[in-house]
Structure 1
Amino acid sequence: MTLFLIGMAILIVGGFVYGKFCENVFGPDDRKTPAYTKQDGIDFVPMKGWRNTLINLLNIAGTGPILGPIQGILFGPVAFITIPIGCILAGSLHDYFNGMICNRNGGAQMPKVVTKYLGKSTKTLYLIFSSILLLLVGVVFTYTPGDLIVKDILGKSTAADSTILWVVYAIIFIYYILATVFPIDAIIGRIYPVFGAFLIVSAIGVLIGVLTSGGADLGNIKGLITAADGTQTEFLGGFMGHFSGVPFIPVFFITVACGILSGFHGSQTSIISRTIESEKQGRMVFYNAMIMEGLIAMIWAAGAMVVYNRTGALNTNATLMVGEISRTFMGKVGGLLAIIGVIVLPITSGDTAFRSLRLQVAETFKIDQKNPAKRMGLAAALFVPALAILIFAKTNANGFNILWRYFGWANQTLAIFALGMTTVYIYTHKKGSYYLISFIPALFYAFITFSFILHA
């Protein structure tokens, strides 16, 4: 419990101090933002700071800050220190500078600003990488909520030949198309506050449960490992070490992913850069939203540690653990609420992933997005490969595992581009060695991603 509370304190206090430092390095001023200078009623729409913050939080918080930490805590209590430190020094810095640099460049999408600061030679590589990642995000966040709805809400089979499953997938896709082409304040800006309630209430419920009854089980991971032949082996972990023997570096950082750093967030902060009313809202909207995601990650990691240590079932699937954690701390009603939250979270990331992909492709190929027919046509074209990938993932026995593996690696790799862009921006706009605040995390994650893919 002590280490968990120390980690939470580091995240809150450190986030406040370092967030202010990052703000001073960037230097926001009173200039008019693109929400006003380019206002079009579709993507460039001024919105209040609290709404932008909540929307950005929901955009970036898919299942990553829940499923990632649930798996990451199996490396031991070290996660309670590495998550907050990484979130402060890498993830929140990444999101803040991405959003603010895009804002300063007229609300441009990431491929354009990356090209501006890293050179034209990176444009094609970044565009291909980011487009594939956004497509994979959209597919992953159709697959996950679709299966949860069919299995846990409707009580039906999630086999590939299930008609009801594909109907649910179709409904999610239809929602994505609407959210992708309609003005941002018509759908996303109106319904996200409702979705936000599920996310926040679920996290608070788990936190209260951990603080009031879980302290005794917040320690080194212990339990039973079940082999393929059904035999069980007792595992007694230490401060750091996974029961399967995988190395902490690089696997931990790829596993936790969004709870520490995510390249996907760059595509989301660039959207919100078009709706902030003032540059001075940036720290709350971008930096603090990632700190909030870090808090969510810490809470679910703690909840998972308690349940793992109580049940001893270390092989439990991360998705199933969501329900176990929720029912343990919030009862049956709370468990249902959490399941709804885990359904909502990926959907709120999936819709904006497709929106980002549309904007990115439109900006690259100069496709007019003020024309509704062109918006709809481009959106429909993007859903064709998404459907093909979804069919592969569902019909192939190992399809989803392959999809998730490359999604996770690509996610962290994409963040290196953004950190590199931030480094060049700071170096050219700020005297001294301030550029090191993004250059060092970029070097660290270059090592993490390359070592992971070379040994995967």
Structure 2
Amino acid sequence: MMWFLMCVGLLLGGYFIYGKFVEKVFGINTARQTPAFTKTDGVDYVPMSKGKVYLIQLLNIAGVGPIFGPILGALYGPAAMLWIVIGCIFAGAVHDYFSGMLSVRNNGQSVPNLAGKYLGNSAKHFMNVFAIILLLLVGVVFISAPAGLLGKLTGWDVSLFLGIIFTYYLIATIVPVDKIIGRLYPFFGALLLFMSVGLTIALIVSSEHTLLPGFSAGDFLSNLNPNDMPLWPALFITIACGAVSGFHATQSPLMARCVENESNGRFVFYGAMIGEGIIALIWCAIALSFFGGVEGLNAGMAGNPANVVYEASTGLLGAVGGFMAILGVIVLPITSGDTAFRSARLILSEFFKMPQTALPKRLVLAIPLFVIGAILTQVDFGVIWRYFGVANQTTAVMMLWTASAYLLRHNKLHWICTVPAMFMTTVVISFLLNSATLGAGLPMTVSTIAGVVSTLVITALIIVKTKGRGEEELPEEA
């Protein structure tokens, strides 16, 4: 239990200490009006209180990723928890803060436009395509997972739940942000709180299960995977949400359009990521503890992390409590899936320069997205998840380099973004070169060396190119 509590304490300390430092480096301006007021339209730009915006941001980013990802990552042992803590504080929360605050500084613009502004038009065009692909994959993953859990919980046909969730997504995507999302999320937040706190307390007081049984300090640096899967770089792709996730860069601009003051940014963006990190820690600890270690987890999972959610929730909280906890798990992907499609609509509206105040124009962009999403739900979930993981971390790489370029232009401490950008670039390149199913299938040593060399070249190019560009291109920062 000591290791778990220490990890939670480190995350909370990271918010108050490193989060404050990141905010200072960025340099907030409390007198500056935010897009929520300068571009109010009653649909996407709507001023909302700090607490409500935080809750919506947390539910937006905390989909099935911080549950399924840490469960799969737990197969590597407590090393997964170490990555969640370090990744969340120094990479994920920094990534989320800058994706939100750069959007606030740029009239609520989405990540493709931000990448284009600070990295160039090639990056903008790449991100326009890549962000839409990622958001469609997210939407599909976050439909299939809750539909499958609801089917398991009720015994009803999964197709019925797919249709119900799709219908909700379509409505939530096109109506004003404060009408459904702003009103339902407090209730969803209560379920999330019950799920997180309830399962943790139940595990701690359980007479049948021990929190992190038999693990030592050395295990946090060891690979205990029973299937002999390499920790590098797969762990850093497997555990995305909860450590660092590019999907969040597509979500933060939604709330950047609703933040009332720049001083709320650390709580809303950095703080929500810390909250997701705690959720990830809880599920990683449950996965390692409920089944008695990695061998038991591997057998109990049977290839599907949804089995762990179901068995652990009902086993720790009984039938009624387990039902409530599973509903909390179901809520997370649903509250991220709806905003994934909403983000895709807004990115397309920026690309086509199509105002979204009129309902018919929202439908013109939303309906094709849902048609494509419906087709993708027929693809095997495991295949979609693999592509989602790579697309997710590639988007994170682009956002971190965008933030680094912004800091370079303003002669600020860019290393707080450059270092995690370099690490994640190496992870993605090494993974793609090594993967036999998604990439080139090269040996791990060759892939890693190529990843490191490629990252050093990219770093040098971005630093040299960015430092040569003037401040005249940034009038809103004056």
- Common fold by TM > 0.5: yes
C-alpha separation in 1, matches of 2:280 and 2:12: 13
| Letter paired with 2:434 | H
- Which digits, 9 at most, give the CA deviation of each residue in 1:348-371, with x for residues without a partner? 111000000000001001112111
Contact conserved, 1:220 with 1:239, CA < 8 A, in 2? no
Structure 1 stretch displaced more, 202-211 or 25-34: 202-211
Q: How has the CA–CA distance of structure 1 residues 340 and 451 changed in structure 2, closer, same or farther, with 3 Å as cutoff?
A: same
The residue number in structure 1 matching 2:298 is: 314
| Letter paired with 1:455 | N
**Aligned 1:235-274 pairs, distance under 5 A:** 239-274=222-257
Is 1:291 paired with 2:274? yes
- Which digits, 9 at most, give the CA deviation of each residue in 1:70-98, with x for residues without a partner? 11122112223221111000000000011
The residue number in structure 1 matching 2:265 is: 282
Corresponding pairs, count: 427
The residue number in structure 1 matching 2:384 is: 403
| Letter paired with 1:79 | A
**Aligned 1:90-101 pairs, distance under 5 A:** 90-101=91-102
**Aligned 1:320-331 pairs, distance under 5 A:** 320-331=307-318
C-alpha separation in 1, matches of 2:32 and 2:238: 40
The residue number in structure 2 matching 1:205 is: 198
Contact conserved, 1:221 with 1:238, CA < 8 A, in 2? no
* Structure 1 residue 2 displacement after superposition: 2.3
Structure 1 stretch displaced more, 361-370 or 184-193: 361-370
The residue number in structure 1 matching 2:161 is: 168
| Letter paired with 1:451 | S
The residue number in structure 2 matching 1:106 is: 107
| Letter paired with 1:363 | E
Is 1:339 paired with 2:354? no
C-alpha separation in 2, matches of 1:403 and 1:221: 33
The residue number in structure 1 matching 2:441 is: none
C-alpha separation in 1, matches of 2:64 and 2:365: 27
- Which digits, 9 at most, give the CA deviation of each residue in 1:401-453, with x for residues without a partner? 1111101111011100000000011111244xx10111111111111111112
Within the candidate set 284, 292, 303, 1:301 is matched to: 284
Contact conserved, 1:3 with 1:80, CA < 8 A, in 2? no
Is 1:27 paired with 2:27? yes
Contact conserved, 1:76 with 1:220, CA < 8 A, in 2? no
Is the partner of 1:185 in helix, strand or coil? coil
**Aligned 1:167-246 pairs, distance under 5 A:** 167-213=160-206, 216-219=210-213, 239-246=222-229
The residue number in structure 2 matching 1:382 is: 369
Q: How has the CA–CA distance of structure 1 residues 266 and 238 changed in structure 2, closer, same or farther, with 3 Å as cutoff?
A: closer
**Aligned 1:120-159 pairs, distance under 5 A:** 120-153=121-154, 155-156=155-156
The residue number in structure 2 matching 1:422 is: 403
C-alpha separation in 2, matches of 1:221 and 1:404: 29
Contact conserved, 1:12 with 1:291, CA < 8 A, in 2? yes
Is the partner of 1:249 in helix, strand or coil? coil
* Structure 1 residue 33 displacement after superposition: 0.5
C-alpha separation in 2, matches of 1:35 and 1:128: 27
| Letter paired with 1:414 | T
C-alpha separation in 1, matches of 2:139 and 2:211: 36
The residue number in structure 1 matching 2:16 is: 16
* Structure 1 residue 237 displacement after superposition: 11
C-alpha separation in 1, matches of 2:215 and 2:76: 8
Contact conserved, 1:74 with 1:221, CA < 8 A, in 2? no
Q: Percent identity?
A: 47
* Structure 1 residue 210 displacement after superposition: 3.0
The residue number in structure 2 matching 1:444 is: 423
C-alpha separation in 2, matches of 1:176 and 1:323: 24
C-alpha separation in 1, matches of 2:113 and 2:131: 12
C-alpha separation in 1, matches of 2:422 and 2:262: 28
C-alpha separation in 2, matches of 1:407 and 1:72: 15
* Structure 1 residue 325 displacement after superposition: 1.6
Contact conserved, 1:117 with 1:421, CA < 8 A, in 2? yes
| Letter paired with 1:327 | T
C-alpha separation in 2, matches of 1:220 and 1:451: 33
Contact conserved, 1:118 with 1:421, CA < 8 A, in 2? yes
Contact conserved, 2:81 with 2:220, CA < 8 A, in 1? no
* Structure 1 residue 313 displacement after superposition: 4.7
C-alpha separation in 2, matches of 1:386 and 1:372: 21
Structure 1 gap segments, 5+ residues each: 157-163, 223-235, 394-398
Q: How has the CA–CA distance of structure 1 residues 132 and 72 changed in structure 2, closer, same or farther, with 3 Å as cutoff?
A: same
The residue number in structure 1 matching 2:442 is: none
C-alpha separation in 2, matches of 1:40 and 1:242: 51
Contact conserved, 2:63 with 2:335, CA < 8 A, in 1? yes
Is the partner of 1:44 in helix, strand or coil? coil
C-alpha separation in 2, matches of 1:308 and 1:259: 21
* Structure 1 residue 221 displacement after superposition: 7.1
| Letter paired with 2:27 | G
* Structure 1 residue 219 displacement after superposition: 3.6
Q: How has the CA–CA distance of structure 1 residues 414 and 166 changed in structure 2, closer, same or farther, with 3 Å as cutoff?
A: same
The residue number in structure 2 matching 1:227 is: none
Structure 1 stretch displaced more, 265-274 or 445-454: 445-454
Contact conserved, 1:49 with 1:285, CA < 8 A, in 2? yes
Is the partner of 1:309 in helix, strand or coil? coil
Q: How has the CA–CA distance of structure 1 residues 327 and 151 changed in structure 2, closer, same or farther, with 3 Å as cutoff?
A: closer
The residue number in structure 2 matching 1:229 is: none
- Which digits, 9 at most, give the CA deviation of each residue in 1:117-153, with x for residues without a partner? 0001112111111110001111111111112222212
Structure 2 gap segments, 5+ residues each: 436-478
Contact conserved, 1:221 with 1:309, CA < 8 A, in 2? no
How high is the TM-score relative to the length of structure 2? 0.86
Q: How has the CA–CA distance of structure 1 residues 254 and 220 changed in structure 2, closer, same or farther, with 3 Å as cutoff?
A: farther
